[in-house]
Amino acid sequence: MAEHSPYVISILTLMTPLGDVRAKRMFGGYGLFLDDCMFALISRGEELFLKADDGNRDSFGALGRQSHGKMPYYSVPEGALGDWSQMEPWAMGATAAAKRTKKPKKRKPNKA
């Protein structure tokens, strides 16, 4: 397994209270997963974006946070990277959004 940058390690450490958060290389950066649901991404420029949907998108918009291109991931509010007490509501909202929007895996038909 390739080693993660200090920034990725710091984000994984910050997210420890959520449980077994894993970083997977993708999009030129990383996807962050909890329970097989991608709830955040770290861009190539090492900026954290959190998953949003109808349940939490307005919270990001109210603070003027920008999405990552056309993807439903929004930049983290100022101060949230400082400690878990500031990050917790945002991370919990992102994990909830990821679970609400997760598509069920397609089952392969049985061959007879």
Residues of the chain with pLDDT under 50: 1
CA gap 54, 112 in Å, rounded = 43
CA gap 48, 76 in Å, rounded = 6
Residue 103 pLDDT? 75
Domain-wise residue ranges, the chain = 6-101
CA gap 71, 62 in Å, rounded = 18
Residue 78 pLDDT? 87
Residue 54 pLDDT? 94
Whole-prediction pTM value?
Answer: 0.88
Neighbours of 109 (CB within 10 A): 6
Q: Tell me which CATH code domain 6-101 carries.
A: 3.30.1460.30
Going by their DSSP bridges, the two strands 29-34 and 22-26 should be labelled as antiparallel
Residue 3 pLDDT? 82
Residue 1 pLDDT? 45
